[in-house]
Structure 1
Amino acid sequence: MRANTWAGRNKVKVRDVPDPRIMNERDAIVRITSTAICGSDLHLVDGYVPTMQNGDVMGHEFMGEVIEVGRGVDPGRLRVGDRVVVPFPIACGACGACAAELYSCCENSNPNAGIAEKMFGHPVAGIFGYSHLTGGFAGGQAQYARVPFADVGPLKIESDLTDEQVLFLSDILPTGYMGADMCDIQSTDVVAVWGAGPVGQFAMDSARVLGAAKVIAIDKEPYRLQMAERAGYTPVNFEEVDVRSRLLELTGGRGPDKCIDAVGLEATHGSAALYAYDRVKQAVRSETERPHALRQAILS
């Protein structure tokens, strides 16, 4: 198959690589229909994350059709022909962390957890396409992918929503949702979001879904601010105005009640983002409780 691979610092290459195969009875093979590039992939390309090897298949945001399953996969959870979004952490579903719905801390999916602990300060779950620190699993920027513990992580899509509308459930929507969820938003809150890129846009949408009274988008790129404004948020261009003064002006001198950093620079990119998928089930539950609101957030 063809896949996008790491070829050294600041270099990637599309190459022919071996097709994935079932290696464990709880594996599944997914034919990729859509995949994406995450801002976190730039950390790999730029050389900030060690243990990448020449030829590693990249990508941790993908979805597709299940074409093969191992004999240990629960048929009540996953079958051949299912359309699925595959979240980036790999979780066994049986350890203490998974029982607590802390899937990104899975104790069984990362064979290199000890090495990861030295890098991050704590062990982490396996992650698709994200270095050998997180298990060396091949990613989803490819034609096919092997998905371990396939009856735990993949989210079945049984609606008429397109790939473009649900692919975000693999990573970016839960990341933005987590930022808003951690704010404990109240109905009277003014929420300011620094960074109006993809994660910032979803953080704004999530803040709205969670009941914020007003959402402010802070960025310098006109197209991002225009997108936020079309969605009903108040744009602030930090190259044109003093942000602090403008925020005080917009809030009657009080300042925002809650703030979300969605910039994603190396200096601010802490380990909390790793746990974003742990909020995806909350987002899915919210869809059951507030289907129209969350769907609108996804489509905005």
Structure 2
Amino acid sequence: MAFTQAANVVERIVGHSDNTSITTDVSNYDNEYGMETGDKILATTWQGKNKNVGVIPQLEKGDVLGHECCGVVERVGPEADRVEVGQRVVQYSQFDRTNGNKIENAMYGKRTAGMFGYSHFTVGFAGGQAEYTRVPYGNVNLLHIPLDVPDEKALYLSDVVATSWHCVVDTGVKKGDVVGIWGAGPIGQMCAEFSFFYGASRVILIDGGDAAWRLDYVKTKLPKLEMISFTDLLRGKSVTSRVKELVTGGLDVALQCAAGEYAKGWTHYFEQMLGMETDTSELLN
């Protein structure tokens, strides 16, 4: 919490770069952009440490969360001639030329695009866990949902499908490869599907603990999938040694789909608390 507040103060001092093409930092309107008026809407907002997610720097009290959403167009701006009121749409979670945050640029050497519902670290766009969401560049940032596609399927186009697809494509999975996937959540499940789509000869999905049930679930969808539950391994045997037993010469591709923001050791824990973390190998270890 202290780091988040400090980061917000620093950003106000150093200001933003002039590379953005739209007004940013409008997650809520109790600021220089005006006061909140009219009827209140239901929304999931960040209210402080231990009240909701808190690992993302530069959250401010009242910020609306949620970066994956779909819904119905209620109102359009004067330049949004590709979308109409009443259309069902799903939105991207990022936009180009919308992030002028100098702190992010200093920490990572580059900027991500602006993101819905993350924080002012990614320029504070209000998120989608709300009755209404403002969508910058709605003309190109909204995909029309066909009538025969339910919301429960269309929703994944906002992030999960794209994340999984690029995970497989960017690592170059090709015909005949043996692929290992750490994490059997939605991303890992779709990466398994896409790996087979690109011709992988074998896919080994790795998970365990309280999430071990997901392995059995995915097996019902992809019968040729192989699985390793790390909680079922004999004492002294590691996932790595089990993989080597199953695959002569080792994996061709390894995909990390086990999520992030997870501290296993004290060093990483304090890095998170102080907002000093960059990348960690703990998930793979």
Alpha-carbon distance in structure 2 between the residues aligned to 1:270 and 1:157: 36
Q: Which amino acid aligns with 1:244?
A: T
SS of equivalent residue, structure 1 residue 5: coil
Out of 212, 217, 226, the residue aligned to residue 227 of structure 1 is: 217
Q: Which amino acid aligns with 1:7?
A: Q
SS of equivalent residue, structure 2 residue 111: coil
Out of 226, 229, 232, the residue aligned to residue 240 of structure 1 is: 232
Partner of 2:56: 49
On the 8 A contact 2:79/2:139 being kept in 1, the answer is no
Alpha-carbon distance in structure 1 between the residues aligned to 2:78 and 2:203: 48
Q: Is 2:111 the partner of 1:123? A: yes
Could you state the TM-score of these two structures normalised by the residue count of structure 2? Answer: 0.71
Count of paired positions: 218
1:48 offset after TM fit, Å?
Answer: 2.5
Partner of 1:259: 254
Moved over 4 A (4+): 267-271
On the 8 A contact 2:57/2:121 being kept in 1, the answer is yes
Deviation per CA, 1:79-102: give whole Å up to 9, x if none: 222211111102xxxxxxxxxxxx
Q: Which amino acid aligns with 2:172?
A: D
1:270 offset after TM fit, Å?
Answer: 6.9
The percentage of counterpart residues that share the same residue type is: 39
Out of 62, 79, 84, the residue aligned to residue 79 of structure 1 is: 84
Partner of 2:25: none
Would the alpha carbon gap of residues 57 and 184 (structure 1) be closer, same or farther in structure 2, given more than 3 Å must change? same
Could you state the TM-score of these two structures normalised by the residue count of structure 1? Answer: 0.68
SS of equivalent residue, structure 1 residue 152: helix
SS of equivalent residue, structure 1 residue 254: coil
1:244 offset after TM fit, Å?
Answer: 2.4
SS of equivalent residue, structure 1 residue 3: coil
Partner of 1:4: 44
Alpha-carbon distance in structure 1 between the residues aligned to 2:191 and 2:77: 37
1:118 offset after TM fit, Å?
Answer: 2.6
Structure 2: gaps spanning 5 or more residues: 1-40, 264-276, 280-285
Out of 135, 138, 141, the residue aligned to residue 126 of structure 2 is: 138
SS of equivalent residue, structure 2 residue 124: coil
1:194 offset after TM fit, Å?
Answer: 0.7
Q: Which amino acid aligns with 1:84?
A: V
Write the mapping of 1:183-202 to structure 2, written as runs, cut at 5 A: 183-202=171-190
Write the mapping of 1:98-109 to structure 2, written as runs, cut at 5 A: 106-107=96-97, 109=98
Write the mapping of 1:13-28 to structure 2, written as runs, cut at 5 A: none
Alpha-carbon distance in structure 2 between the residues aligned to 1:230 and 1:65: 34
Q: Is 2:196 the partner of 1:208? A: yes
More strand by share: 1
RMSD: 2.0
Q: Is 2:70 the partner of 1:66? A: no
Deviation per CA, 1:266-286: give whole Å up to 9, x if none: 379978xxxxxxxxxxxxxxx
